[in-house]
Amino acid sequence: MPERAGFSSDRSPFVLASGSPRRRWLLEKVGVRFEVLAVPVDECARAGELPGEFARRMAEEKAAAATQQRRDSWILAADTVVALGDLALGKPRDHEDAVAMLTRLSGREHVVYTGVVLLRPGAEPAAHTVVETRVTFRPLDASEIQAYIETGEPFDRAGAYAIQGEGAHLVDRVEGSYTNVIGLPVAEVAGWLRTWRII
């Protein structure tokens, strides 16, 4: 069963198709009442699929999976991809993988893509987008990378960092939506919800 997060029954239910606590936190800031429904999808990129395309497809597949269970609901689904050029950086597998990712990102610009899909009850499309944010890391030395990894924060994070946590000190510059880097472009989503009079 979906986890409830202040759900109101006076309108069609609103479902966040994501188990991410960071997306839940961001959506709560918008003021919408919602349920959480984490849906499993195969998160493997296809051959030749660019990071932005991958983020969009994952959001679409999450939305489609959620609507199979909740056709009576509004569905919001999102997927975030951290990319260095055309290389998508997922969650680090282990300590060595985290070191490798952070070393690659050191002193360089990368792009964070978040694909977002909103479906109306009955699985009717309402809105979709892919938001891009450019993030530049300051140069990091090996001791700084090691110290950050020892916080445990890089694990379970795409790109091996959390900009809203201790990873903030790794970042030199952000161009675009800050909340997009956390996992949800709040300005775009809030605009949709106002347009559809959900908030």
Q: Is 6 exposed, middle or buried (0-12, 13-18, 19+ CB in 10 A)?
A: exposed
Q: What DSSP designation does 9 have? A: S
Q: Strands 87-89, 171-175: parallel, antiparallel or unpaired by DSSP? A: unpaired
Tell me the chain's radius of gyration from C-alpha atoms: 17
Give the active site residues. Answer: 79
Give, in degrees to the nearest 5, the angle at Cα 88 between 85 and 90.
145
Q: Which residue has the tokens 């605009």?
A: 191
- From CA 71, how far away is CA 89, in angstroms rounded? 33
